[in-house]
């Protein structure tokens, strides 16, 4: 799986960094923090959305979720000014926030970059 590297690539795109091909493997939370330079903070989905809206249009986040059944996933969130979107660089899906079934998630964390 390479969801962490895909989430980093989307983060870089939102930051205006040139495209870089992603490899295999994923990241632990400390590795994601090192890759993006943004601290991942545990918070609820509602808190993530509120922080993005408060940050203004263009604010974005790397989202980490731990599944109830074990394992986890990295993806991104982006605030366009009237709505927060979930952006999954691994699958290519863009969907309304939350982007995943909240009933399947044990923990949420976010590294938020405001504009």
Residue 60: band (very low, low, confident or very high) from pLDDT cuts 50, 70, 90: very high
What is the sign, positive or negative, of the torsion defined by CA atoms of 18, 92, 39, 84? Answer: positive
Determine the pLDDT at residue 82: 96
Determine the pLDDT at residue 20: 74
CA distance 90 to 4: 9
Could you write out the DSSP letters of every residue in 51-74?
HHHHH-TT-EEEEEEEETTS-EEE
Residue 75 contacts residue 64 (beta carbons within 8 Å): no
Mean pLDDT within 43-68: 98
3-113, what's its fold?
Cathepsin B; Chain A (3.90.70)
Determine the pLDDT at residue 19: 75
Residue 52: band (very low, low, confident or very high) from pLDDT cuts 50, 70, 90: very high
Residue 57 contacts residue 43 (beta carbons within 8 Å): no
Q: Mind listing the pLDDT tens digit for each residue in 11-51?
A: 999 999 977 777 888 999 999 999 999 999 999 999 999 99
Mean pLDDT within 91-109: 97
Domain ranges, ordered by start, for the chain: 3-113
Residue 11 contacts residue 34 (beta carbons within 8 Å): no
Determine the pLDDT at residue 23: 80
- pLDDT at 78 exceeding the cut of 80: yes
Give the pTM: 0.95
Structural Rg of the chain based on CA atoms:
13
H or E stretch at 36: helix 29-36
């Amino acid at each position: 799986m390479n969801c962490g590297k895909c989430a980093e690539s989307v983060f870089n795109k939102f930051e205006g960094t040139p495209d870089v091909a992603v490899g295999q493997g994923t990241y632990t939370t400390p590795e994601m923090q090192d890759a993006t330079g943004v601290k991942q903070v545990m918070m609820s989905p509602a808190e993530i959305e509120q922080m993005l809206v408060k940050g203004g249009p263009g604010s974005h986040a790397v989202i980490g979720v731990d599944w109830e059944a074990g394992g986890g996933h990295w993806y991104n969130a982006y605030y366009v000014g009237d709505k927060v979107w979930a952006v999954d660089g691994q699958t290519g899906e863009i969907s309304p926030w939350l982007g995943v079934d909240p009933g399947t998630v044990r923990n949420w964390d976010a590294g938020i970059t405001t504009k």
